[in-house]
Structure 1
């Protein structure tokens, strides 16, 4: 049954935040801090960032906002006045958690795959009953409390993505969520410019997600990462029940075989000592281990195995994270794999391997189009050059690239593999027609900030409108 109760009443907001109502009482059916996303009945949160959200309160009320949380009186409608709107959001999130003690909560972090794994878990939760989850990549100091504050009263299970850009960010967010199960998908050289200890610092930060676990909570650990001992120690210190996934012997969930196909993949695994065979709607090799992480998380959140497997069979790649499209260009069709949302050395290697396993028609090529990986600090040059080995091992035919860091990779590639290089993604996108030929399978991958999506969109546009 749909939840017909209001998400928040102004009286509840006052109690949760310690604020004071200015204007008539109201009820809110949603909450957002973006005045452009207001739906009728929403609560508008006037956060202060690059722009002061108070400047947009009038527009929010004009769009149908029922009320607002503000630090000063605003025109256009009622508001709850608070000292600090971000702290008020945090308090609202905690209040939403505490008013629904029956909700089983999961939390996901990791250097690679956390958004997709979160959404795959959500797919399983949806099949099991009323569920709630992070949207997009709402995983930071605003996104996590906002996701909590948006949690309907009738939610039975929920999953939250928790990310970081610097040390000390994950533990407070996990303590806010207070999950019953938490996982680390994997650990790799991501955001390492912010960590003096390099990957070890990243691993320690990721492991801090276990600090927020409820007593008796479950820690789902990647047993194949080089930091598995560190992760296990952190989970043990938190008093968690520990379960592991990986390809090696001794894991609670062990990957035995992964066979990609045009529709996704077939997986054989061992789960708690029992052999299982199941279908995935994902073809990337990294989804072998990802799927086991999802199964362990769903088990910890009391979702039956058959329900979890049904969800994995139907779950498809998210936008910019492996969506596959046949582009019918004037000279002939080619296949586009859009991995343009994000990139780091781990996900690059996984993407190359997956592309290398893709069948191509006679005359077709396996082509990869790359833009810079960001936030790699003083290891950036070496990590970009180092991609050449994974490209060679995957047997890819041609590499196009954009950006000053990818120029280093371009220069160390053998001439037979070296395609176009341009200073920016926009310049490479302008040459989209030169990047592909009929029958090619083309993967576009790069960090969001280096605009790989421009190239993906330009390639789609070769097929005409839409």
Structure 2
């Protein structure tokens, strides 16, 4: 299928096409490039012009460049622009302009990618859906997602993130959503903001990109709900609140089971129930917000509820898997909760609540009773309150149900000291240090949660645990699709 012709791409970007080529996709990475893709030679950490020859050799249909790279012939299929980032943004805007799709944009301190994937699952049963890949939500991820959007898309789900003030509004204006959602506002990226109200104002700026008569889907339960609501009112957006105090999609009850979450809710006078395949109150809130957003896009609520039940989380975002530790005695298992992709105080508390409701198995290993074990890495970008925020995790109610806490990093060392001595596990400087000895800290029947900021590299610990056995029916999905 043709995504862009040379003439269309040149017209969109104001660039010059060296030949009459066509492309079927858009890529920024030679490692994941598919034959027929337009390779975009961004100049960020490395100048991707150095990889254009390789991309073309690997089957790229053309390359978006600001110059003819060394080793690439003049007659190679190229789109030459003044600035590659600006060219990608222009292509993204053109991709958005040519479609009649109903567009939803999602932001929030926690739950962006989860909610985006829930919406993908819901909308895929009601039309042709296009959504961001993984967490492609920044200054290149949003235009890349829009540039990849087929012209016949019926629903589009665009994730928008930020690290610093002023990032969200320009991306929202590029996406031009009919519906914009704020999952929640929490203490994430605090070092770039004076306070949580500043974070709320930045998240609320997603509403600046709304199309006329647009809808704002807002978490009514977060502490800064009034900031979100005032922004929506000032911009003339129709507000739909979700949560226990929501005015439209109201959360009535959440029941956590070891392997599922059952949610009771109502919208106006209509009660409904949905079940998620993983436990977690935070997943219940994400699901409720996703249902509200889907309905605002015109999706059928009853069908949306059914589709949501088929959603499963991405790897590293709460995926649960059972590992068989003994190839002969296959009942000897360990349960792993891989939530290693990222962390802030709110998402850490939610993950610990999931662990607290998990059901270890007794009488299976060297230790008579199965244990709830947490492996916790530093939470980054929290600013001057970072020590207190790490120490404060010790006071969470969920901690009362957790048997052992292993920590990684200098900030989590403060949590280690704040814990009762009986609950202190290993206090490691790096994930590599803990990964080397992790197998000796676990036993059959245990349930282990791994969570921390991405830069802490806790995926190493997850890999070390996985190497202890082999998985049984992992509950995950391929993020490369």
Q: Write out per-residue CA displacement over residues 351-408 of structure 1, whole angstroms, 9 at most, x where no aligned residue.
A: 1111111222231111111111111111111110000011655521111111111100
Pick aligned residue for 2:416 from 376, 395, 410: 410
Q: Write out per-residue CA displacement over residues 159-195 of structure 1, whole angstroms, 9 at most, x where no aligned residue.
A: 0000000000000000000000011111111011111
Check whether the contact 1:353–1:394 (CA below 8 A) recurs between aligned residues: no
Q: Write out per-residue CA displacement over residues 206-238 of structure 1, whole angstroms, 9 at most, x where no aligned residue.
A: 010000000100000101001000000111112
TM-score by length of 2: 0.93
393-402 or 414-423, which deviates more: 393-402
Check whether the contact 2:334–2:444 (CA below 8 A) recurs between aligned residues: yes
Counterpart in 2 of 1:203? 200
Structure 1 residues 288 and 46: CA distance shift in structure 2, 3 A = same
Rounded to whole Å, the distance in 1 between the matches of 2:242 and 2:468 is 42
Pick aligned residue for 1:323 from 319, 322, 340: 319
Q: Write out per-residue CA displacement over residues 105-132 of structure 1, whole angstroms, 9 at most, x where no aligned residue.
A: 0000000010010011011111111110
Counterpart in 2 of 1:192? 190
Pick aligned residue for 1:223 from 212, 220, 223: 220
Computed over aligned residues only, the root mean square deviation of the Cα atoms, in angstroms, reads 1.4
Note the residue ranges of structure 2 that are not aligned, 5 or more in a row.
363-368, 473-481
Check whether the contact 1:365–1:441 (CA below 8 A) recurs between aligned residues: yes
Rounded to whole Å, the distance in 2 between the matches of 1:168 and 1:273 is 39
Rounded to whole Å, the distance in 2 between the matches of 1:37 and 1:169 is 27
Counterpart in 1 of 2:463? 457
Counterpart in 2 of 1:99? 98
CA offset at residue 282 of structure 1? 2.6
Moved over 4 A (4+): 391-394
Rounded to whole Å, the distance in 1 between the matches of 2:296 and 2:471 is 45
Check whether the contact 1:109–1:206 (CA below 8 A) recurs between aligned residues: yes
Structure 1 residues 353 and 72: CA distance shift in structure 2, 3 A = same
Written as runs of structure 1 = structure 2, the 5 A alignment for 1:25-424 is 25-74=20-69, 75-76=72-73, 77-100=76-99, 102-195=100-193, 197-248=194-245, 251-330=247-326, 332-362=332-362, 363-390=369-396, 393-424=399-430
Q: Write out per-residue CA displacement over residues 271-329 of structure 1, whole angstroms, 9 at most, x where no aligned residue.
A: 23311122212311111211110110100111111221122111012100111111122
Counterpart in 2 of 1:437? 443
Rounded to whole Å, the distance in 2 between the matches of 1:380 and 1:115 is 24
TM-score by length of 1: 0.96
Aligned with 1:128: secondary structure?
A: coil
